[in-house]
Every structure is written in C-alpha cells, then in structure tokens.
A and B are shown apart, each in its own frame.
Chain A
Amino acid sequence: MASHAIEVKNLYKIFGPRGRDFVDQVKAGLGKTELNEKHGHVLGLQDINISMPAGGVMVVMGLSGSGKSTLIRHINRLIDPTAGEVLYDGVDVCKMSENDLREFRRHKTAMVFQKFALLPHRTIIENTVYGLEIQGVPEAESRKRAQGWIERVGLKGFENHYPNQLSGGMQQRVGLARALTNDADILLMDEAYSALDPLIRVDMQTVLLDLQKELKKTVVFITHDLDEALRLGDKIAILRDGKVIQQGTGQEIVLKPADEYITAFVKEVNRGRVINVETIMKPLSGNAEGMPITIGTVLESAARMMTVASLNVAHVVDANGKPVGSLDLGTIISAMVTPIGHQLQAA
C-alpha cells in the first residue's frame, strides 16, 4: 500500500456556537484576544496550510494552547473545521458522509493518544485487536495480527494483563501496537510520548523510527518538545496561537529561525545532532583531503569520527563515494555552537 500525502488547506477553527459567522472577520485580521473579548469565541486555528509528506513523519510542534491537538483532530475529523479542507488522496475529509468518515477512520487512520486511552476492562491483546474487531475481522485472524505487533513493541508475555497492571511506557506501547494492528496508512500521534519519562521517551522514539523505516506510513506527530520534533520529523511545522509560524526541515528551522519565538526555542537545541555535514561543507578546492564522510551525517558524528582518527580535515562524499565538498574541525565546531546573534535575540 503506497502512502498518500495529506494536504491541509486554509483551515480555520473557531470554537463557539456561532464560529462560522466570524471566519470572515478573522480572515480580515480580527485577532485571537479580540475575538474572545468581543464575541466570546475562541480562535483555535487560523489559516493552516501544511502539506504532510507521504510516507514521512510530519511533526507539528507548539506549546500548550497553540492548537496542535486541535489540528491533529481535524485529520480524522474528531473535530469539525469551521472552514477549510483536509485532503487525503484527493478527497476532502471534512466533506465525507458519516459512513464514509467511519470507513476512513477504520481503514486509513490509526491514532495514539497522550493519556493512552486504553480500555481498562480489556486485556492487552483485547485492546490491541480493537480496531480490527470493529472492522469485523474474524477473531482468529485479528488475534494473530495483534500478537505480531505486541511482540514487535516488546510486550510479549503481557497479552493477558490489564492496562492498569502496566507502567506508563508499557501502556503506550500497547497504544502503539493497537494503532499499528489497524494497518492504516496514516498514523496520528497526539503527544503520544509527552506523558513518558525522558529515557523511556527516547526509547519509544527509537521504536517509532525503526518501525517507520520499513512501514513508511504517513505519520503526523504532535509534540511540545523540540528535541523530539528534530529527532523524528522529516518535516516540522511550528504552531503558535493557532497559526503556523514556520515550517520546514529540522535543519531549516534550526539554521534559519523565522522569528524571535522560534529563535528562543532553538537556542537550547543540540545543533550537532541536527545539522548535516553537507549544510556547512565548503566547495571542494583541489584534491579531497582527509577522511571521507557520507552526506547525511550529522555534525556530532562527523566530529567524533574525525577526533577518533586524529584528523583536522575531511571531505564529504555522496552516496556513490564521489567527493562533493570539504570540511575541517573548526567549521564543524563553529556550526555546533549557537551563533551569538541568536543568543542576543533570544535574551
């Protein structure tokens, strides 16, 4: 099954009984605070335009109240938009009939929740088969498929436990197994790892990245943690007050933050793990010197390789081993530390 991209176009969400009446005013420039004070309506999302890459991980990042959870709920329409479109494979999810929507949710999407949202009265295996059960897949078949995913997420032996008997990290593995068992193209993860402690979170990120390498689903991942966003995201959109203030790859956001808000965010980021060697390499002048480093290597790994080999210079090679640029340790280090300009802006 080839994955499809999701296109979010001109999406607006205004919470309140007469939300639709205020869309035009918001388009004309009515702000969030004004809308709330004058009309008692809350502006959830405004003018969201994101194209989420097929078979890639799209991270939507923002602090609480930025509208990120509202946005992800528009993709499977747990929340109805006030205006705008969510296109999947050319079909507008927002215009689907109730039946089509149910079929879409059953077969095309699967969701993982921040607080796990497992059924407390069902065992792990019964929770995992839930998606297939409501699709009407025969029990033997769905159990077999669920068993496979339970083992993949490392919960073998816990099939007959109840969710309450597991730790948070394990419960979220169940949440992930439940979503994967559905075998849907779109995987929606709403702050899926935010409730987990840091070590387990990194562990779960690795699980997701490993799975994604072979599954190539269209993943939409919501988080408030920039490190998590940079680690997972093929593309990142940053939300603030219901607006997208920047979108692009992790490198683009770290190297060219769109405004002071994002600058303040990226200040604390470990740049060495985000920026790739080809971003800072200099054009090849003369012969390729030093050791070869493949395109796509992050600065930290490059620096480690060079220090281990006691070399100050290296050259960057493409996938076929052809030299394309040169590097030296000084350039790497100056790229890894946060530029002074950013420090001042953020302060």
Chain B
Amino acid sequence: MAICSYLPDLLCKFPAIDETTIRMARKSVDDGFKALVREYVNIIDALVQPLQWFLNYLERLFVNSPWIIILALMVAVVYYGSRDIRITIGTIVSMLLIGLVGLWNDTMVTLAMVTVCTFIAIIVGLPIGILMARSERAQSIINPILDVMQTMPSFVYLIPVVMIFGIGKVPGLIAVVIYAVPPMIRLTNLGIRLVDKEVLEAADAFGSSPWQRLKNVQMPLALPTIMAGINQTIMMSLAMVVVASMVGVGGLGRNVLQAINNQFFTVGFFNGFALVAIAIIFDRTSQAYGKRLQKHSEVIHG
C-alpha cells in the first residue's frame, strides 16, 4: 500500500505475537488442562454421580409412568399453580397433540431435564443472588462473570465442559445451568435491593437478626422479582436443551438436531412446537402462581 511506504513497518502491519509462540502457548494450556482433567477424573465423576442418578431417576419416572398419570399430574400442578381453567385446558390440548404426533417420550425426557436444570439453577442462583445483594464487593465481582456467562456463545463453554465430563447428560445439564442461572442470580439480587428501606429499618428497629431480616422481610418482599427470575430460568433452560443435545442430551432437542442434519422440515417443526408448548405451559403457570402470591398487594384502599 502506498501509505505504508511512508510509515515504519511496526505501525503499518499489526505486530502479532509470532505463530509458533502462540501455538506453543495454546498447546501447553490445552495439554495442561487435559492432564488436570485426567488427574482428577475419578473425583469429578464421583462428585457429579448424584446428579446423574437424580437425572436418570426422574427421566425413567417420567418416561415409564403411564401417560395418563403424567397428564393428570401436570393438570393438577398447572391448575393449583395458576387457578386458571384456560391455562389448564391449553395444557391438556397441547399435551394430547404432542402425544398424537408420537413425541410423548421425547417430551418426557426434555421435561425431566428442564425440571432438574431449573431446580439446580434455583439452588445455585438464590444464595449467590442473596450474597450479591448483601455486599457491594460481591456484586462487583459477580456481575462481570454473569456478563461473560450470558454473552459467551454456548458452544464455546461446551468445549471445556465436554473435556471435563465427557459426552452425556451431566455435561448437558451443566451447560444448561450455566446458561440459565444468570437471570435467577440477577433478579434475586435486584429484588432484595429494591425492598423498601423503611420496612427494613422497621425490621431493624424491632431487633431482627440478619437471618430474621432475610427470612421475614427481604425474601417475601423480593418474591415477585425472584419469581420472574425463576420464570426466565425455565425459559432459558428450554431454549438451551436443543444446544445441549449436541453433547448427548436426549429428548426433543436431539430430534431437532437430527432434523437439521437431515433437512427434515416437518420433524423439526413438530419438535420445535412441542418445545414451545412446554415453554408456554411453564411460563403461564409460573406467572399466574407468582401473581397469586402477591394477592395482598392488589386490594388498595381508596
């Protein structure tokens, strides 16, 4: 280029570290990581074994029970959660349609997966969110980590997860939880921080211990926001089970993956809509339930 002839080489062409050095560095990091994983593979396996059992147990329970019992259970949960007849009927219709097109078992596998993921995301996310709300320092450390978790393409962190745990349900589960836990953490933190200062002051003035303050005031008042977090977590787990099928999670996600590979247009859409149906059932039920918990704030004195 013409300009380059007037400039020193250093300013014209970016002085990248030379390729052999980079290759060496990459290789040593990769090898080091692999060695580390090999070293601790037994411990890691033992640690995640309970997860595997839990997941397998729930999956078998869902798949092996007669469909009518599962449907009855779902209807009961949806009805008692939402107290809304329309959502309940919608649930019955969509589950019957799913069964009719032969996706019942796959749906059950996905349902088991999402249930476990949501459960773990809540167990992990709630305490972290509380910690963040209590300490500015924790917040300033955790916030960027959450940013990374939410923006890093999920395929990227699937690589180390697969290296550590191999192919199977557990790595899928971990990938889903990494993807789905940030809203839980963020909204728990936000909910607690938004609690009315006056009410907190009142709790202090009556001599509440930190635990009593959390249990009696902060958690109940943050509950609507936390419920929104749970709702988001469920939605994101459902979206992520498709990606997780790449590392060996079964269910609807795997069908979608196969449909992509083989250009099965109809199969793809059937499975996609089955996911959408579950998502809507979860979403409407959890939202209606959250709203019902807040009944006390509805009747405002004029």
Contacts and interface: CB of A to CB of B under 8 A. Distances in A.
Interface string B195-225: 0101101111111110010001100110100
A206 to B, nearest CB: 23
Interface stretch (A36-44, A103-111, A338-346): A103-111
A137 interface: no
Interface in A112-138: 113, 115, 117-121, 130-131, 133-135
A164 B301 contact: yes
Contacts of B203: 130
Interface stretch (B55-63, B144-152, B292-300): B292-300
B206 A105 contact: yes
Contacts of A164: 296-301
Contacts of B217: 119
B15 to A, nearest CB: 45
Contacts of B208: 134
Nearest to B300: A164
A76 interface: yes
Nearest to A105: B207
A107 B297 CA distance: 31
Interface residues of B, number: 24
A88 interface: no
A130 B301 contact: no
B262 to A, nearest CB: 53
Q: Is the interface of A mostly helix, strand, loop or mixed?
A: mixed
Interface in B14-44: none
A344 B209 CA distance: 55
A111 B206 CA distance: 7
Contact of B221 (A107, A121, A133, A188): A121
Contacts of A107: 207
A106 B206 contact: yes
A165 B299 contact: yes
Contacts of B202: 111, 113, 117-118
A265 interface: no
A162 B198 contact: no
Interface string B170-210: 00000000000000000000000000101101111111110
B297 to A, nearest CB: 6
A131 B206 contact: yes
B301 A165 contact: yes
A182 interface: yes
Contact of A130 (B206, B221, B297, B298): B206
A133 B196 CA distance: 21
B220 A121 contact: yes
A55 to B, nearest CB: 21
A237 B223 CA distance: 43
A78 interface: yes
A166 interface: yes
B296 A120 contact: yes
Contacts of B209: 102, 134
A107 B205 CA distance: 11
A54 B205 CA distance: 21
Contact of A78 (B201, B223, B300): B201
B205 A109 contact: yes
Contacts of A162: 296-297, 299
B301 A167 contact: yes
29 contacts: A76-B205, A103-B207, A105-B204, A105-B206, A106-B206, A106-B207, A110-B206, A113-B201, A117-B196, A117-B198, A118-B199, A119-B199, A119-B220, A120-B199, A121-B220, A130-B206, A131-B206, A133-B216, A134-B207, A134-B209, A162-B299, A164-B297, A164-B299, A164-B300, A165-B299, A165-B300, A167-B301, A182-B206, A188-B205
Leading 7 A-B pairs by shortest Cβ distance: A106-B207, A105-B207, A117-B202, A162-B296, A111-B205, A117-B198, A131-B206
Given A117-B198, A164-B296, 18 more contacts: A78-B201, A105-B204, A105-B206, A107-B207, A110-B205, A113-B201, A115-B198, A119-B217, A119-B221, A120-B199, A120-B221, A121-B221, A130-B206, A131-B206, A134-B206, A162-B296, A164-B301, A182-B206
Interface of B: 196, 198-199, 201-209, 212, 216-217, 220-221, 223, 296-301
Interface of A: 76, 78, 102-107, 109-111, 113, 115, 117-121, 130-131, 133-135, 162, 164-167, 182, 188
